[in-house]
Chain A
Amino acid sequence: MKSIPVSTTVNGDAVDFVCAPGETLLDALRNRLSLTGAKEGCGTGDCGACSVTLNGRLVCSCLVLAAEAEGAEVGTVEGMADHDKLHVLQQSFLDHAALQCGICTPGILVASKALLEENPEPTDEEVRYWLAGNLCRCTGYDKIVRAVQDAAAKMRSA
Chain B
Amino acid sequence: MRYATPKTAAEAASLLMEDAARVLAGGTDLLVQMKSGRLAPETIVDIKHLPGLRDITREDGGFRIGAAVSGAEMGEHTDLVAAWPGVVEGVNLIGSTQVQGRATMAGNLCNGSPAADGVPAQIAAGAVARLEGPEGTRDVPVAEIPTGPGKTSLKRGEFVTSIFLPARPERSGDAYLRFIPRTEMDIAVAGAAVNLVLGADGTVAEARVALGAVAPTAMEVPEAGAALTGSKLEDPAIEAMVDAVRAACKPIDDKRGTVEFRTHVAGVLAKRAARIAFARAGGQA
Contact = CB atoms under 8 A, between A and B. Distances in A.
B34 interface: yes
B97 A58 contact: yes
B119 to A, nearest CB: 19
Contacts of A59: 98, 101-102
B28 interface: yes
A146 to B, nearest CB: 20
Highest count of chain A CB atoms <10 Å: which of B26, B32, B101: B101
A132 B31 contact: no
Given A62-B31, A129-B184, A21 B98 contact: no
Given A60-B99, A133-B96, A44 B35 contact: yes
A67 B36 CA distance: 20
Interface string A1-15: 110100000000000
A4 B4 CA distance: 10
A10 B89 CA distance: 33
Could you say which interface size class chain B belongs to?
20 to 34
A80 interface: no
Contacts of B98: 45, 48, 51, 58-60, 63, 111, 133
B261 interface: no
A22 interface: yes
B95 A130 contact: no
B31 A24 contact: yes
Contact of A67 (B3, B28, B99): B3
Given A21-B44, A58-B101, A63 B32 contact: yes
A111 B97 contact: yes
B210 to A, nearest CB: 26
Could you say which interface size class chain A belongs to?
20 to 34
B14 to A, nearest CB: 18
B2 interface: yes
Interface string B70-111: 101000000000000000000000011111011000000000
Contacts of B183: 132
Nearest to B44: A21
From DSSP, what is the main secondary structure of chain B's interface residues?
A: mixed
Given A65-B44, A133-B97, A133-B98, A44 B32 contact: yes
A133 B46 contact: no
B2 to A, nearest CB: 6
A43 interface: yes
Interface in B173-199: 183-185
Contacts of A124: none
B184 A65 contact: no
A57 B101 contact: yes
A16 interface: no
A142 interface: no
B96 A132 contact: yes
B160 to A, nearest CB: 19
A54 interface: yes
Contacts of B97: 58, 111, 114-115, 130-133
A137 B36 CA distance: 24
A129 B96 CA distance: 8
Contacts of A2: 2
Contacts of A21: 1-3, 44
Highest count of chain A CB atoms <10 Å: which of B3, B26, B44: B3
Q: Closest 5 CB pairs between A and B?
A: A133-B96, A57-B101, A132-B184, A21-B3, A21-B1
12 contacts: A24-B31, A48-B98, A57-B70, A62-B31, A63-B31, A65-B3, A65-B44, A129-B184, A132-B96, A133-B95, A133-B99, A134-B96
Given A60-B98, A60-B99, 15 more contacts: A22-B34, A22-B44, A24-B31, A43-B35, A45-B31, A45-B32, A45-B95, A60-B102, A62-B31, A63-B27, A65-B3, A65-B31, A115-B97, A133-B98, A133-B99
Interface of B: 1-3, 5, 24, 26-28, 31-32, 34-36, 44, 46, 48, 70, 72, 95-99, 101-102, 183-185
